[in-house]
Amino acid sequence: MSEPVFEMPRPDRPEGEPRETRIKRLAMRSMRRGIKEMDLILSAYATDRLAGMNDDGLTLYDDFLDENDHDLYQWVTGQFVPKSPYLDLVKDIQVHISNQ
């Protein structure tokens, strides 16, 4: 029997969190990643895009930030196809990168 895979705990997502606080939390998570390249890519993206996202978009982005940084980097650089829920988000991040 195999041992369970270790899972990192998810950051707290306070219930009833005000939108402004949620955006600030996501912006902070975007700039405090494990890989410097992702810090740069996601902090610039968050600055430019989070305020314009609807609640579903913010939830998707929050889930996206729970993914492994190495996976995120490979997705946004086109090395691998992202998980299906993130296809459009990753495309938007790629467009954002190309416009920098």
What per-residue confidence (pLDDT) applies to 5?
64
**Residue 1: which pLDDT band, with cuts at 50, 70 and 90?**
low
Within 10 angstroms of residue 46's Cβ, the number of other Cβ atoms is 21
The pLDDT tens digits for 40-86 are 999 999 999 999 999 999 999 999 999 999 999 999 999 999 999 99
Within 10 angstroms of residue 22's Cβ, the number of other Cβ atoms is 19
- The alpha carbon torsion through 40, 73, 67, 25 (nearest 10 deg) reads 10
- Give the type of residue at 71: D
For the cut 60, the answer to whether the pLDDT of residue 37 exceeds it is yes
For the cut 60, the answer to whether the pLDDT of residue 18 exceeds it is yes
pTM: 0.87
